[in-house]
Structure 1
Amino acid sequence: MTDLRAALIPAPDARRVNPNFITDVIDADLQSGRVDRVVTRFPPEPNGYAHLGHAFASFLDYMTAQDYGGVCNFRLDDTNPTGETQEYADSIIRDMQWVGWDTSRLFYASDYYEQLYSYAQELIRKGLAYVESVSGDEMARLRGTVDQPGTPSPYRERSVEENLEMFARMRAGEFGNGEHALRAKIDLASPNFKLRDPVLYRILHETHYRTGSAWCIYPMYDFAHPISDAIEGITHSMCSLEFIDNRAIYDWLMEHLFPEAQTGRTPPRQYEFGRRSLEYTVVSKRKLRRLVQEGVVRGWDDPRMPTISAQRRRGVTPDAVRAFAAQIGVSRTNRTVDLAVFENAVRDDLNARAPRVMAVAQPLRVTITNLDGARTLSLPYWPHDVIRDSADGLVGLPGGARVTPEQAVRDVPLTADLVIERDDFAVDPPKGFKRLTPGGTVRLRGAGIIRCDDVLTDEGGTVTELRVTLLGEDAKASGVIHWVSASQGVPAEFRLFDRLFTVPNPDTEAQHFDPEEPGHEDEREPLNTDFLRFVNPQSLAVTQGFVEPSVLRDPSDTRYQFERLGYFWRDPQDSREGALVLNRIITLKDAWAKEQTKAAPTREKREQPRGEKAEAAPAAPTRPALTDEQTATFTRLQGAGLSENDAHLLAREAPLLAYLDGAPDMAALAPWVVNDLAVALRDGTNKVPREALADLVALLAEGSISARIAKDALAEAQASGEAPAAIIERKGLRVLNDEGALRTAIQAVLDANPGKVEEYRGGKKGLTGFFTGQVMRATNGQADPKTVARLLAALLDS
């Protein structure tokens, strides 16, 4: 292998696509000299909008090429005028550009129509193709069965001259749809039905969105796709697994039309990878079209859809989409990906970019009876445990941005008239309820503790207003809730999106078989395959509420974390000045909210599909059913102290269970396995042994490290293979709770910010968050938050 070819193979830590069987092939091809440059292509058909499955396929095509210093062509495979439109083509190009791919090498299969026609004529001249004149049904019959070879068509031995003449007449439009077709002459006895004289061209009098009515014959995918690859000089043609049988046609065409001995160029080869589907959705374009056409959703960009346009409108970032595509892995088998993989990629991305503000989606009015006039609180945009260190006086934010300390906080008006979430008050609270109750207390985020003195109701008994007293800081409260000023907050519409289907696999769940019909279930015809019966009518809830006024100063594309509600941004189409519309991008991980969903019917106003009457809300989406063996495992795990959610997931997923089972303290390790190691365990890339995880959790339990330190160490261990505890020891990442050292650090922060200290002592108690963040940065995030809070209060109030 030449030095040049050696240089094309990336080092393992330089690859953006994890090593897989395709990269193994490419490595071998470069080493052997079969190719000296890698050229891939991404070839979607413009018969619908691109979806998250295309995000994975495009990532594989583009990133593989980039890893090897090659190029990736972007080709719209537009050989079927039925259903293909300029709208779809434009949307796919726009979406791929948004994801981050270079679309400058843009090609269309329709650009090759004349060349494809010439290659078809070449096959005819070689005696390898003929014009078929039997009907489609007869053609199917003549192909034979699994047990019987095909029967030659009476037109299979037409002369070359007659075939060329008939093919020319087909192109000239002398025949109607279906009267004739061009077939390859391969092998009617082949066990691969794809080789039993496949159709290469069909007559179709349809207007093409690019070529108009210039053509009335159109090449089939199996003919146009490999030849387009060869024309463009593609070296490695990657496609999904359903085309594995089609590869025989691909190779046959390369052998007869692009033999290396004649062309002097190595022809492309096809490699199949397993498709990736997502739980709680569908990615078939035909089914996505049904959702649009039947009014189940508002269009291809409805934020509930799995299309890239929809995710962009919902507020997902291209960084999150690429991160998701990078995580799910390449294999030779089809796989349905846990929706949590995508959701966690979105959460991880937003956590690093979304400032924290307050909003109330289902408001309940609250009046503070002892507050005269309005106050302005200074509250931090970012919690102290996510702020990165900075050496130049600036605040380093998680996403890499750097702002002044003043820019890291915002002014929030506190007035006597507030709104809180209706679910944050209960007249008859359930066990464990830590929010507001009659006569009870709760802390308003950044504003102090209130006590509920009076509850006002309407004639129907619905609570309409709470009257509360603002207490001093010496009061005690077990919970914290968010709030917004009713008079100075900004009215907004909140669109709360949820999963589009109520079952993980709406395609397979819809299949119910006739128990009286003999034969294996997989061979029987489903009685009902209508996936629409599993559409979740609660996939969109629309509420009217308030958001704090600071959002009006921010750029329109700002993503927020609304405390305890989720991540939101402004709908780019419907939001305008004076009419703020906020889309929920994704929820937070809130176990309490999940339990409340099970326990009580929602009060949210649900939007029904157009043309349908409102109906009673069904139960929340259910988990996949367990087998008897899984049920026994689930029961055993719960007996070991695991939560219901963790036990259910582990009982279903063998790799996760195998890793955890038998650990001395499974209950302590399970949340880390489910939330932090699941992807690596599923993909077989985990580098953290169970004993190493147990050591990490033990350090956390004894208070030696914080949860943030634990997560950071675990992430580094997963990348490097070093034990998390060793990383913590090497970097000295223990929690700092020495009061003397902390008092010194706090005093240094107060001395550096005398103006802020004066504002705090003048009534701006919200600055506590600012001071805490400064202390955490000064101690590299290692200070014990509880000790900091206690010492900070003592020093500020002294």
Structure 2
Amino acid sequence: IEGGLLASPPPHQYEFARLNLTYVITSKRKLAQLVYDHKVNGWDDPRIPTIVGLRRRGYTPEALQLFAERIGVTKSDSWIDYSTLEGCLREDLELKAHRGMAVLNPVKLVMTNWDEVMGVGHLEPCSQPALPHAPHGASSDAAPEGTEPPPARHFTIGKEVWIDREDFEEVPPKGYKRLFPGNKVRLKGGYVIECTGCTKDANGLITEVLATVVPDTKSGTPGSETVKVKAAITWVGVANGVNAEVRLYDRLFLDAQPDAGGKDFIESLNPNSLKVITAKVEPSLANALPGQNFQFERHGYFVADRVDHVQGRNPVFNLAVGLKDSWGK
């Protein structure tokens, strides 16, 4: 070796292709343009692939490590579908994200015979497990070695509860199994109810769904399964449900390769990449710690926002990923 400075054999530099992920950009210059032009809300915006952004979106180190293991490295340019990253997060959170019920598009359901059957003003205590599946395939009431099982979630059911509007159809389409006049469903963790109709305002908007509670059908009690139903729906009690700000994040770009081939990536921005709603959530979710991940049952995985969520006073949740890949479907 010239000059005798390096031992033989000489070192060799290997170069690998950069990571190209669909529906996002990873160029620091272009990310800076999005931030400084206020197209996103800072470097920790959950829609951009910065470390602080991914953490605020709810991504875990384990999910990112699993993603890196699955895609490997290559010397040729290629594009990795964003759904691969989302799938790694779902897989990581499935067995460790505590469950909770949330109603994202609420309408009130009134059980018209509640006072007669249960007593005027009665609130019935209910509970559900925080984790329906134990890690490593153990039984549902087991816990990893050296740890205690997470405490159950506690809430109440009364005459009025919140349900999602999508769980009621006045004229049901074929195959619809949830609430419609004459049909029975189970309120998850609660009672079987039979829908009797609805009330509407002057504009025809449904303001209340009406139902009757079927006695002696509370989940987990003897004889509760004697009334068979084809669907169970999630709900939140009016008496102790909590208002929460929920931020529904979608992909930042409409084009899978927004900056490929010299394209103007700004023109591909998704105008609906963020939707902010007020949801109803069960009491346990209001006590979440910033950065804590949950599965909102039937909706997806959410994380208590690291910046704006205040435990017990101002619940704010960000959508991390849906329960299944529904992009473009």
Quick one: which of 142, 150, 160 aligns to 1:395? 142
Per-residue CA distance 1:91-134 (angstroms, 9 max, x = gap): xxxxxxxxxxxxxxxxxxxxxxxxxxxxxxxxxxxxxxxxxxxx
Q: How many percent identity over aligned positions?
A: 39
Question: Does structure 1 conserve the Cα–Cα contact (< 8 Å) formed by 2:106 and 2:162?
Answer: yes
The aligned runs of 1:87-486 (5 Å cut-off) are: 261-265=3-7, 268-371=11-114, 372=119, 373-384=122-133, 388-389=137-138, 395-396=142-143, 402-404=147-149, 407-471=150-214, 472=217, 473=224, 474-486=226-238
AA matched with 1:403: E
The CA distance in 1 between the partners of 2:251 and 2:81, in whole Å, is 13
Query: Separation in 1 of the partners of 2:153 and 2:25?
Result: 42
Per the alignment, do residues 264 and 280 of structure 1 end up closer, same or farther by CA in structure 2, a change over 3 Å counting? Answer: closer
Cα deviation, 1:62-100, whole Å, max 9, x if unaligned, reads: xxxxxxxxxxxxxxxxxxxxxxxxxxxxxxxxxxxxxxx
In structure 1, what is the Cα distance between the partners aligned to 2:60 and 2:316? Answer: 18
Structure with bigger RCO (C-alpha 8 Å, 6+ apart): 2
Matching residue's letter, 1:317:
T
In terms of mean alpha carbon deviation, does 493-502 or 545-554 score higher?
Answer: 545-554
SS in structure 1 at match of 2:46:
coil
Which of 305, 323, 326 aligns to 1:588? It is 323
Which stretches in structure 1 are left out of the alignment for 5+ residues? Answer: 1-258, 512-525, 595-620, 623-644, 646-798
Shift of residue 401, structure 1, vs aligned partner: 6.9
Helix, strand or coil for the counterpart of 2:42? Answer: coil
CA distance, structure 1, for counterparts of residue 267 and residue 88 of structure 2: 29
1:575–1:581 Cα contact (<8 Å) kept? yes
Letter in 2 for 1:341: T
Match of residue 545, structure 1, among 269, 279, 303: 279
Q: Is the 2:95–2:133 Cα contact (8 Å) retained in structure 1?
A: no
After superposition, what is the alpha-carbon deviation per residue over 1:573-607, rounded to whole angstroms, capped at 9, x for unaligned? 111242211111111017xxx5xxxxxxxxxxxxx
Match for residue 51 of structure 1?
none
- 2:277 equivalent to 1:535: no
1:320-369 deviation line (CA, Å, top 9, x unaligned): 11211121111211110011210111111111210111111111111122
Q: Select which of 251, 263, 266 maps to 1:499.
A: 251
Q: Would the aligned equivalents of 2:16 and 2:75 in 1 still touch at CA under 8 Å?
A: yes
What is the distance in 1 between the residues matched to 2:127 and 2:172?
Answer: 32
Distance 1:387 1:450 in 2: 36
Distance between the aligned counterparts of 2:2 and 2:274, measured in 1?
56
**Cα shift at 1:278:** 0.7
CA contact (8 A) 2:246 2:318 kept: yes
- Are the aligned partners of 2:288 and 2:304 in contact in 1 as well (CA < 8 Å)? no
Cα distance in structure 2, aligned partners of 1:442 and 1:401: 39
Alignment of 1:687-706 (within 5 A): none
Q: Which amino acid aligns with 2:143?
A: G
| 1:488 has 2:254 as partner | no
SS of structure 2 residue aligned to 1:286: helix
Structure 1 distance, partners of 2:18, 2:6, is: 34
State the SS of the aligned residue for 2:284. Answer: helix
Alignment of 1:394-793 (within 5 A): 395-396=142-143, 402-404=147-149, 407-471=150-214, 472=217, 473=224, 474-508=226-260, 529-576=263-310, 577-589=312-324, 594=326, 622=328
What is the distance in 2 between the residues matched to 1:326 and 1:301? 25
Aligned counterparts of 2:48 and 2:241: Cα–Cα separation in 1: 31
**Deviation of 1:482 (Å):** 0.5
Does the aligned pair in 2 maintain the 1:368–1:416 contact within 8 Å?
A: yes
Q: Distance in 2 between matches of 1:585 and 1:500?
A: 13
Give the whole-Å Cα distance in 1 for the aligned partners of 2:2 and 2:158.
79
C-alpha distance 429-287 of structure 1, shift in aligned 2 (>3 A): farther
How far apart are the structure 2 equivalents of 1:353 and 1:360?
A: 22
Distance 1:555 1:581 in 2: 11
* Shift of residue 556, structure 1, vs aligned partner: 3.5
**1:319 aligned counterpart, secondary structure:** helix
Tell whether the 8 Å contact from 2:200 to 2:206 is kept in structure 1 after alignment. yes
Contact kept in structure 2, 1:387 and 1:395, CA below 8 Å? no
Alpha-carbon separation, structure 1, partners of 2:254 and 2:65: 26
Deviation for aligned residue 1:477: 2.3
Distance in 2, Cα, partners of 1:434 & 1:537: 34
CA distance in 2, matches of 1:318, 1:533: 32
Q: Which has the larger radius of gyration?
A: 1
1:584 corresponds to which letter in structure 2? L
Q: Do the aligned partners of residues 475 and 467 (structure 1) sit closer, same or farther apart at CA in structure 2, a change above 3 Å counting?
A: same
Relative distance call for 1:419 and 1:394 in structure 2 (3 A) is: closer
User: 1:565 corresponds to which letter in structure 2?
Assistant: H
1:395–1:408 Cα change, 3 Å: farther
> Structure 1's 563 and 401: CA in aligned 2 closer, same or farther, altered over 3 A?
farther
Contact 2:286/2:313 (<8 A) preserved: no
What is the SS of the residue equivalent to 2:291? coil
- CA separation of 1:265 and 1:558: change in aligned 2, threshold 3 A: same
Between the aligned partners of 2:268 and 2:181, the Cα distance in structure 1 is 41
Q: Distance in 1 between the 2:255 and 2:174 partners?
A: 30
> How many Å separate the matches in 2 of 1:476 and 1:496?
35
CA deviation map 1:387-412 (0-9, x unaligned): 7437xx97225xx77324xx442212
* CA distance 1:548–1:260, shift in 2 (3 Å): farther
Q: Using the alignment, how far apart are the partners of 2:290 and 2:305 within structure 1?
A: 9
Evaluate the alpha carbon distance shift between residue 385 and residue 470 of structure 1 in structure 2; reply closer, same or farther with a 3 A threshold: farther
Helix, strand or coil at the partner of 1:402: coil
Structure 2 unaligned segments of length 5 or more: list them.
218-223
**Larger % of helix: which?**
1
Inter-CA distance 428–319: structure 2 relative to 1 (3 Å threshold): same
Q: Is the 8 A contact 1:382 1:408 kept in 2?
A: no
Is the contact made by 2:109 and 2:160 (CA closer than 8 Å) also made in structure 1? yes
Q: Distance in 1 between matches of 2:239 and 2:266?
A: 44
Pick closer, same or farther for the CA change 1:555–1:290 going to 2, 3 Å: closer
RMSD: 2.4
**TM-score of the aligned structures, taking structure 2 as reference length:** 0.86
**Count of residue correspondences:** 312
Q: Secondary structure at 1:503's aligned position in 2?
A: coil
The question of whether the paired residues in 2 share the 8 Å contact of 1:357 and 1:562 is answered with yes
Does structure 1 retain, via aligned residues, the 8 Å contact 2:135–2:143?
no
Structure 1 residue 317 displacement after superposition: 0.9
Is contact 2:35-2:41 (8 Å) kept?
yes
Question: Using the alignment, how far apart are the partners of 1:359 and 1:260 within structure 2?
Answer: 70
Inter-CA distance 531–384: structure 2 relative to 1 (3 Å threshold): closer
Cα distance between partner residues in 2 of 1:552 and 1:363: 17
Q: Which residue of 2 aligns with 1:663?
A: none
Secondary structure in structure 1 of the residue aligned to 2:84: helix
Letter in 1 for 2:16: F
1:385 to partner: Cα distance: 7.3
